[in-house]
Structure formats: C-alpha cells, structure tokens
Amino acid sequence: MRVQVAIVGGGPAGHLLGQLLHQAGIDAIVIEQRSQDYVLGRIRAGVLEQGTTDLLDELGLGKRMHREGLVHGGFALNFGGVQHRIDLHQLTGGKRVTVYGQTELTRDLMDARATLGLRTVYEAEKVSLHDFDGVRPKVRYLRQGVTREIECDFIAGCDGFHGVSRASVPVNALQTFERTYPFGWLGILSDTPPVSPELVYANHARGFALCSMRSQTRSRYYIQCPLDDKSENWSDDAFWDELRLRLSPKLAEKLVTGPSIEKSIAPLRSFVAEPMRFGRLFLAGDAAHIVPPTGAKGLNLAASDVRYLARALAAFYAGSQAGINAYSDTCLRRVWKAVRFSWWFTSLMHKFPEGGGFAQKIQEAELDYLVHSPAAATSLAENYVGLPL
C-alpha cells in the first residue's frame, strides 16, 4: 500500500492530524498498536484551550463538545484556608477553557474518520519505521499473522512517550531534557457532583489537591502523594478524609463523597526531545514532549503540533518546503513556553520534600501576590487559556 502520510498512533493527536490532512486533501492512514476499545478505555484529563476548541469547530467536530462539555470562564486557587477565583474570561479578553474528556474527544475523531471511510488499522503488532532518512519511508507491521508494509512520503509519529517513533531515531541525533518530580498524583473518579462549578487548585502544607470534573454528575479528584505510594494503600474513606484536609473549610463542607469507580497514581514528569523532525519523520504530541498535568497542557500541545504539521505538509504538496523545514523550531518555541508554565505552576502548588516551612511560606506569599496583582493574574490566565499559535 502507498499513501502520502502514514500516521503512527491512533490517539487524539493521530486522529486529529488525520482529520486535518483529509481536510487538506492529503491521503493518510492511521496505524494503532492497540484495539479501538483499549484506546477509548484510557482515562485522561480533558481541559481544552480556546485554540483547541476553535480548531475542532473549524473541522466541524465541535457539536457534541459544545452540547456536553463544560465551558469555564475561570478557576480557583485555594490556599491559606481561603478560595480565590482567577477570572480567565475577563483577564484574557473573552477567552475560556472547556472541560471535555479526552476519551470523548477521541471518540468524536474516530467516529468522524469512520464516517468518511478513511483508513485506520487497529491492533497493528510489531510496528517498525524504515528509511525515513530518504525519500521513500516505510512503515511495517504485523496484522493477523501477516507482515504488511506501507510506503509513504512522510511518517507522523503520534504514538506517545513509549511509542516506536522516537525510539526509531538514532540516539546521536536526539537531545532530551527531563525533570522527574519527587511526587505523584493519586486520583479517583466518582459518580458524585463536583464540589465546585470550576476547577479548584489547592496549595496546602500537607500537599497539593485538585478538584476537577468530567460532567455535572461525575467528578475527578487528585491529591499529591509520595512517588512510591500505591493506590491500593488508600481506601476511599482515607482519600476523602485527606482531600478535605487540603481544602478550605467552606469548600470541604460542600464535598459530596461516594465510591470510586477508578483509582490510580500518576507520576509527574517534564520531558522534551529535540529536534522534532528527522528527515521525513515528524514527532508530535507525547512522542516529543511530556508536561506535568498541573497546567493542562499535554493534549493542547499535541493539538498545536499537528496543526503546524498539517499546515506544513499542505504547503509541501503545494510546492513549498518552508513549513516542514521550520516545523521543529516552530513547535519547540510553543512547547518550551508550555513546559515553563507547567513547571512553574507545579512548583508553586506542590509540597517538595526538601522545601520545609520556608518554601511553604514563599509559595503562600507568591499566591497572595498572584491573586492581588492584575498583572500577575493576567500572566497566569493567558498561559492557562493557551498562548497564541
């Protein structure tokens, strides 16, 4: 089989790129190692920046998002026993974020691709990338015991941090930058109403907490925990008790508890691989960079990557190589700004083992400055809703 672009990875980044390329008249196939049900079973956050929702609207894929998603014009910072609202809408000239689960976004993209009759391969085993340093790259995989090969003009590596795409790049051609944080997030999902109509980020001497939601009846809560902790060490009651301690008394009184339907611990990491292009292989999304979830940037960065890539490939087929030549630098300028913001917000809100009382007081002072300084609050809001593309 021959196509113009082979997309490795069938998560939201790969499927979004597929839709963008289809809109541009570019023939592409999506190759995914896992089953469709497995991909849709992955529970991920879903705070979409204004630019991401605008992109979905441009593709005609925003109807269900607008019907079921929760539009937020702000969020709260909870510290010192008091809650303070950051008014995103006012501070950014009308921008907002939308809470819409990554699973739901992926489902919308999959359904759109199926409706259009576009080619997607699931359960592709032993995927391997070849000859991307030349002009005739190839992707090979095993499907139902048969080895298959796709010849293409370009390969888009959208297969995540542990995928084959970045691993296929020669080690001496890649430079990586990484910070592993000395704590994780213990998260639970529960069929309970959210404690607040908007997200709440809590800084407390006992550690960070986040109150989020998937809908008006399903909540997602997190508490900072040691990196070596285990979710099985936490009963539901123990989780709720600890969460209450980290919230302001007024908010803790409103908390509605219930049995968890999912419980897990996620480590936090900042990671960037440079460059993001190797011949005719382009990395996008988590294949190239990871940010801690504090700033809700991971999915949105993937969306901006594939938007840049789709534009670059459309320009290539129109006769210009300027876009593909600039792809890595263009993406990385935005990536590093998001990495900086996520690192800063994580450092501000979490308790670090070596910090002690001094660090806690510094955090509280900075938070107090942040909520009382229009300039500081505006900087936070601009980064949170997403910097311009």
- Tens digit of pLDDT for each residue in 35-77? 999 998 876 778 999 999 999 999 999 999 999 999 999 999 9
The answer to whether the CB of 300 falls within 8 A of the CB of 223 is: no
The answer to whether the CB of 213 falls within 8 A of the CB of 194 is: yes
In the numeric block, the tokens 């976004």 are attached to 105
Domains of the chain listed by start with CATH number: 5-46+98-177+269-345 (3.50.50.60)
- pLDDT for position 46: 85
- pLDDT for position 389: 84
Reference 309, options 292, 328, 295; nearest CA is: 328
- pLDDT for position 18: 98
- pLDDT for position 42: 77
- Tens digit of pLDDT for each residue in 102-137? 999 999 999 999 999 999 999 999 999 999 999 999
| Tally of CA atoms within 13 A in the half-sphere of 153 that contains its CB | 11
What does each of the 389 residues of the chain score in pLDDT, given as a tens digit? Answer: 999 999 999 999 999 999 999 999 999 999 999 999 999 887 677 899 999 999 999 999 999 999 999 999 999 999 999 999 999 999 999 999 999 989 999 999 999 999 999 999 999 999 999 999 999 999 999 999 999 999 999 999 999 999 999 999 999 999 999 999 999 999 999 999 999 999 999 999 999 999 999 999 999 999 999 999 999 999 999 999 999 999 999 999 999 999 999 999 999 999 999 999 999 999 999 999 999 999 899 999 999 999 999 999 999 999 999 999 999 999 999 999 999 999 999 999 999 998 889 999 999 999 999 999 999 999 999 999 999 88
DSSP code of residue 232: G
- pLDDT for position 16: 98
In the numeric block, the tokens 């910097």 are attached to 387
Catalytic residues: 72, 201, 293, 297, 384
Question: At 54, which amino acid appears?
Answer: D
Reference 191, options 216, 215, 211, 217; nearest CA is: 217
Give how far Cα 240 sits from Cα of 209, 245, 252, 268, Å.
11, 9, 10, 22
- pLDDT for position 87: 98
Residue 41 to residue 76: CA distance in whole angstroms: 29
Give how far Cα 359 sits from Cα of 17, 242, 347, 363, Å.
43, 21, 10, 6
Residue 121 to residue 108: CA distance in whole angstroms: 17
In the numeric block, the tokens 């051609």 are attached to 173
Residue 17 to residue 23: CA distance in whole angstroms: 10
- pLDDT for position 339: 97
